[in-house]
Structure 1
Amino acid sequence: MRIGLTGGIGTGKSRVARLLAQLGAAVIDADQIARRVVERGGPAYDGVVARFGRGILHPDGTIDRRALADIVFSDPAARRDLEALVHPAVRAETDRRIAELAQSPEPPPAVVVDIPLLFEAGRAGDFDQIWVVYAPDDVAVARAAARDGTDPERVRARMRAQWPIEEKARRADVVIDNSGDWADTEAQVRRAWSRLIGKAAAP
């Protein structure tokens, strides 16, 4: 069973992913993979530097992720170019890990791919179920700004580059409402996981 877990900035998706790992899911972090593919020697590094120039590099040659983010979140064409370079490499590595887990002696009951841009990357058809972690924009902005120590307007600019969370929720098989306290969210996740495992075990 392959689950695509997504949400929006500040909705709490990563915390839900950690809980699912505790419950027995194998979790693949697409954001972590995206960071690795643009490291020096990674499959997307040369293309990103060629497209955006050496001005996005630290003195040691690594990519300054904040400088790159400032460019792509203010320029839709630049963002599309970056996604065209990064998404295929992320997809290939994600698929490789899913296949590896499926062939392991004791496959996990479910593989959860934590993927922020699931819909934006056109990956909705890659999963058996899509779970969306939801929180209203005002709550999400406040959380993300506090977490990252950044200006709320910078958070809103990043949010505008993604699908609205309401649209993601409409397309989900499971919606986890994380707008309240964590105890309620955890209860929702545990119920959804129990239903999933029951369905997977059914003949």
Structure 2
Amino acid sequence: MSTIVPPPPLKLGLTGGIGSGKSTVAHQLLQLGAHVIDADAISRATTQAGGAAMTAIAQNFGQAFVAADGSMDRAKMRDHVFSDPGARTQLEAIIHPLVAQAIQTEVTNTKARALVFDVPLLVESPRWRQQLDLVWVVDCLQTTQIDRVQARNGWDAPTARSVVDSQSPRSKRTAAADAVLFNEGMDLIELAGLVKQLANKFGL
């Protein structure tokens, strides 16, 4: 008697600039039955107190970048990597392999019919595209990004703008997309309807 092997899960890459609404779309896909792998959340976990990246961060950047609770001082590190591209590369060399390992564990263990890889820097990391069946980009106007980031994080406008400007331009992200969700002027119900429509179209 032959064994029926289920097809591999569809692999969807989900990305978008800060404040675009990417995490909201990821949550909506989760509600539709997909397994969401949040690369940013995994990355943050590595820099929490006792996280897998903390020993290397302290060794490479010094104790000044370790907060009192043992986690990475995110504000201090953010300012440092914005002013020093070499420091960003150094930090990514510590964190990215740990994130990749954790993601592979989730991929191996999931039984879902669709895997959603929620990756903020998907376009900036060429290795991702070859691993995916589809790429969705959540997009909005840059002014909207800045407004949302200010409201969410309590940052002033120059800080929010500097973070937005440090990411890939919208045109580069949308050029890499199989589908673009333009999250501008929509409420959550309208956005959920668009997500469901696209999920049905692509067989998620």
Matches within 5 A, 1:103-142: 107-122=111-126, 123-142=128-147
Contact between 1:87 and 1:121, CA under 8 Å: does it hold in 2? no
Q: Using the alignment, how far apart are the partners of 2:69 and 2:195 within structure 1? A: 42
Deviation at 1:113, TM superposition (A): 1.2
Structure 1, unaligned runs of 5 or more: 102-106
Report what 1:175 is aligned to. Answer: 180
Scaled by the length of structure 1, what TM-score is found? 0.89
Structure 2 residue identity aligned to 1:161:
S
Report what 2:53 is aligned to. Answer: 44
Deviation at 1:160, TM superposition (A): 2.4
Deviations 1:29-84 (A, max 9, x none): 11110011223443322222222211111223221112111211222221121112
Q: How high is the sequence identity, in percent, across the aligned residues? A: 37
Q: Using the alignment, how far apart are the partners of 1:20 and 1:113 within structure 2? A: 11
Report what 1:96 is aligned to. Answer: 105
Name the SS of the counterpart of 2:70 in structure 1: coil
Q: Using the alignment, how far apart are the partners of 2:123 and 2:175 within structure 1? A: 12
Contact between 2:136 and 2:180, CA under 8 Å: does it hold in 1? yes
Q: Using the alignment, how far apart are the partners of 2:96 and 2:122 within structure 1? A: 10
Q: Give the number of equivalent residue pairs.
A: 193
Structure 2, unaligned runs of 5 or more: 1-9
- 1:192 is aligned, of 178, 182, 198, to 198
Structure 2 residue identity aligned to 1:121:
S
* 2:13 corresponds to 1:4: yes
CA change 1:7–1:89 in 2 (3 A) is same
Deviation at 1:142, TM superposition (A): 0.6
Report what 1:104 is aligned to. Answer: none
Contact between 2:57 and 2:94, CA under 8 Å: does it hold in 1? yes
* 2:146 corresponds to 1:154: no
What is the RMSD of the two structures over their aligned residues, measured on CA atoms? 1.5
Scaled by the length of structure 2, what TM-score is found? 0.88
Name the SS of the counterpart of 1:180 in structure 2: coil
Q: Using the alignment, how far apart are the partners of 2:194 and 2:98 within structure 1? A: 33
Name the SS of the counterpart of 2:83 in structure 1: coil
Name the SS of the counterpart of 1:2 in structure 2: strand
Q: Using the alignment, how far apart are the partners of 2:109 and 2:175 within structure 1? A: 32
Out of 186-195 and 118-127, give the one that drifted further: 118-127
Q: Using the alignment, how far apart are the partners of 1:15 and 1:39 within structure 2? A: 23
